[in-house]
Amino acid sequence: MGRFFAKTVATAVAVLFAAWILDGVSVDSTLTALFVAVVLGLLNSFIKPVLVILTIPITIFTLGLFLLVINIIIVKWAADIVPGFVVTGWFAALLFSLVVSFVSSIIEAIIGTADDRKGKRS
């Protein structure tokens, strides 16, 4: 449970940072960013694998670049689901997904989790 909470908070901070530096992205509040983090986590866990499997031929044909389109679709879908979270345009969604991925992985590497500090890696 601690790992889930740490990843969600790291993603929420990354969402706030991305909204701060990108023009086409806005987040109303910290609570909205936390909700965006949860929704992105759920979409990436349940919907994205299905989309990846369904689009294997085009992904192979584009040498994996179509995965960026899937990321954009996930971000735009999250913007449709979460009130107070707005992403204008496909390019803003692409930059948002790249920034959130990069920043959240840096935050997770810095803070780690309780299991990581005890030496129990999952």
Could you give the C-alpha distances from 108 to 9, 28, 46, 75, 90, in angstroms and in order?
9, 24, 22, 20, 27
Please, which pLDDT band fits residue 119 given cuts at 50, 70 and 90? low
Is residue 121 included in any domain, yes or no? no
For the stretch 32-85, pLDDT in tens is 999 999 999 999 999 999 999 999 999 999 999 999 999 999 999 999 999 999
Query: Which band of pLDDT confidence, cut at 50, 70 and 90, is reported for residue 1?
Result: confident
pLDDT at 4: 86
Q: pLDDT by residue (tens digit) across 103-116?
A: 999 998 998 755 55
Residue 58 counted as domain residue: yes
DSSP state, 84? T
Could you give the number of structural domains in the chain?
Answer: 1
Q: Which residue has the higher pLDDT, 8 or 121?
A: 8
pLDDT at position 81 is 97
Please check whether residue 62 lies inside any domain of the structure. yes
Asked whether residue 21 is assigned to any structural domain, the reply reads yes
Q: Is residue 122 domain-resident?
A: no
Model pLDDT, residue 115: 53
What are the structure tokens assigned to 35, written together?
């909700």
Helices then strands (H, E): number in the chain?
7, 2
47 within some domain: yes
**Residue 32 included in any domain:** yes
110, 116 contact by CB (below 8 A): no
Host domain of residue 68: 2-115
Compute how many other C-beta atoms are within 10 angstroms of the C-beta atom of residue 90.
15
Nearest in space to 37 (alpha carbons), one of 14, 68, 71 = 14
